[in-house]
Structure 1
Amino acid sequence: MKSPRLCLACGSAFVPLLHVPRQRYCSSAACQRARRRDWQNHRLRIDSDYRDNQSRAQAKWRASHSNYWRDYRAAYPVYRERNCSMQRMRNLRRSFKPIAKMDVVGLPRPLGSGFYLLSHADDGGAAKMNVWTVHIAVLSGPTAPPI
């Protein structure tokens, strides 16, 4: 008979199965979920093929279930309200800096002519990922005062 071991997930003692010599998790459902989650996180870190496959599978699922979150929020208004109120609290703690979902660069000088991406910021200052490509043509610039 094998000696008892401590489960990596819950810390309780268990006797490993004879046909699983390197067993490190007990047989409880929660610990087995933890074992699978740990395996998947490890695999995602070390295996680029697995990572690509998971990414494609998730993108395919999102494409075929595009209304999932909209339907979820409609079915659970308490969830939506809690999420909105927590976001408002986070916005207040950010000392009035607008929130951007992607990289934002502050411009130290006036805009020049060129193509720019614009995104709508809501009343709380949170920029959304929906962007428009626009062309801005500077017709006149600031002039230096006469000396």
Structure 2
Amino acid sequence: MKSTRLCLSCGNPFVPLPHVPRQRYCSSKACQRARRRDWQNHRLRIDDDYRDNQARAQAKWRASHSSYWREYRAAHPAYRERNRGMQRLRNSRRNFEPIANMDVTVSPQPLGSGFYVLCDAHEAGVANMNAWTVHIAVLSAPTAPPI
């Protein structure tokens, strides 16, 4: 009789393959997927080169599939509505501070001529990361009130 082990993923007993003496997962698709996910998470934690390579590969994929999430949200309205509802809940838990870009600055003086970044806010107090660079030319500056 062959010895059985308990699968680390599903907990069911299985007989390990003879050529894989340290087998810890059964051969079901879900458990093999869990094994690969566990291996990748472990590798990401311990291997800087692997982590860097994965980050570069993901950035390359995002650059070549830049419209993926826009198209996904358009094709899955339930996902879009759930995400919006969750964002509203997160916003309500905040201390009424608006969400803004990380590069937004507050200017104590009036704006002068120059280049500025404008952001579209779909909901009050929420600025998204889609920004435009624009040139604003001041045509008339405020004058000092007469004394």
Instruction: Give the aligned length.
Output: 132
Question: Alpha-carbon deviation of 1:128?
Answer: 2.7
Unaligned runs of 5+ in 1: 112-116, 135-147
Secondary structure of the corresponding residue to residue 8 of structure 2 = coil
**Identity value in percent:** 71
Deviation at 1:125, TM superposition (A): 2.1
Q: 1:119, 1:128 within 8 Å by CA — same for their partners in 2? A: no
The structure that is strand-richer by fraction is 1
SS in 1 for 2:18: coil
Shift of 1:100: 4.2
Asked if 1 retains the 8 angstrom alpha-carbon contact of 2:118 and 2:134, the reply is no
- Normalising to structure 2: TM-score of the pair? 0.71
2:9 paired residue number: 9
Q: Residue 79 of structure 2 aligns with which residue?
A: 79
Whole-angstrom distance in 2 between the partners of 1:42 and 1:133: 45
Q: CA deviation at 1:91?
A: 1.0
1:38-117 to 2 correspondences below 5 Å:
38-100=38-100, 102=102
Is the alpha carbon distance of 1:102 and 1:32 closer, same or farther for their aligned partners in structure 2, counting shifts above 3 Å? farther
Residue 36 in 1 paired to residue 15 in 2? Answer: no
Give me the whole-angstrom Cα distance separating, in 2, the residues matched to 1:6 and 1:73.
Answer: 41
**Aligned residue type for 2:94:** R
RMSD across aligned C-alpha pairs, in angstroms?
3.1
Amino acid at match of 1:60: K
> What is the SS of the residue equivalent to 1:45?
helix
Return 5+ residue gaps in structure 2 as ranges: 110-115, 136-147
Letter in 1 for 2:45: R
